[in-house]
Amino acid sequence: MEKQLRVIKADGTTEAYLHTKVVGAINNALSATGRPDITLAERLAEVVTYYLYRKSDRRTVSSNEIFGIIKAVLVATGNDDAATILSDHAIERRLKRARVEVLAIDMQGFADVERLRRTKYVPDRMPWDKTRIVQDLTAQAGLPHHTARAVASMVEERVLNMGMTAVPLSLVKQLVLGETVAALRAQQELQTV
C-alpha cells in the first residue's frame, strides 16, 4: 500500500491529496469552455494522480505544482482553452483575496455604522486569510482540520462573492457560525444514512 501523498498549501499547511479535487478542477475548467465532460475529467485526473505518485520518492507536493501539472495535461490533450480558463480563474481568485480586508470592528447596528462613518480613526485592518478561520475553528471549537478547512472555504466563497473589500469582523464571525452549523448538520445527516 502506497503512502498517502500530502499537499503543501499556499499557506504552508499540508493536507491529504484528494484525487476528487483534481477531477473537480478539470471538470470545472471543461465546463467553463462549454464542454462539460466528467468522463474526460476523470481520465485526465487519473493521469495527474498517476504522475504525482510515480514521479519520485517524495510524499509531498505543492498545490502550485499540482496546478501546473493539471494545466500541462489539459494543454497536452488539446484543451488549451480549459487550461487558460483555469489560469484566469486562479489569478482572479488571488486578486479578489488580495483586495479584501477584515476590519476589526463589531457592527451591531446602525449606530455603529454612523460612528464608523464619523470617526477619523480607521479600525485595525487585516488582510483576508482563511487560514485564521481554520486555526480558530480547530483551536477554539475543536473541529477536525478537514472540517475547519471546508467551513473556511465556504466562508471565503461567500465573502468573495459579496464583492466587498472591507468586511467587518462581526460579519466574518456570523458567516463562520452559519457555515459551521451547516457543515456539522451535513456530517450528522451523513452519519445517520
Residue 53 has pLDDT above 60, yes or no: yes
Q: How far apart are CA 53 and CA 45, in angstroms?
A: 12
Pairing of strands 125-127, 101-103: antiparallel
pLDDT at 79 over 80: yes
- From the centroid of its chain, how far is CA 128? 12
The pLDDT of residue 2: 59
Residues paired with 16 in a beta bridge? 6
The predicted structure's pLDDT at residue 1 = 46
pLDDT above 70 as % of the chain: 91
In this predicted structure, what is the pLDDT of residue 42? 97
pTM of the complete model: 0.76
Is residue 4 left, alpha or beta, with left meaning phi > 0 and alpha meaning psi from -120 to 50? beta
pLDDT at 147 over 50: yes
What pLDDT is recorded for position 116? 64
Q: What is the mean pLDDT of residues 159-174?
A: 91
Q: pLDDT class for 173, splitting at 50, 70, 90?
A: very high
Residue 147 C-alpha cell reads as 472540517
* pLDDT exceeds 80 at position 56: no
Helix (H) or strand (E) holding 167: strand 166-168
Q: Bigger pLDDT: 173 or 116? A: 173
> 155 versus 107: which is more confidently predicted?
155
pLDDT tens-digit series, residues 84-138: 999 999 999 999 999 999 988 777 777 766 666 665 666 678 899 999 999 999 9
pLDDT digits (tens, 9 = 90+) for 23-44: 999 999 999 999 999 999 999 9
Q: In the prediction, which pLDDT does 23 show? A: 96
Domain range summary for the chain, segments of one domain joined by +:
6-96, 100-192
* Over residues 8-21, mean pLDDT: 88
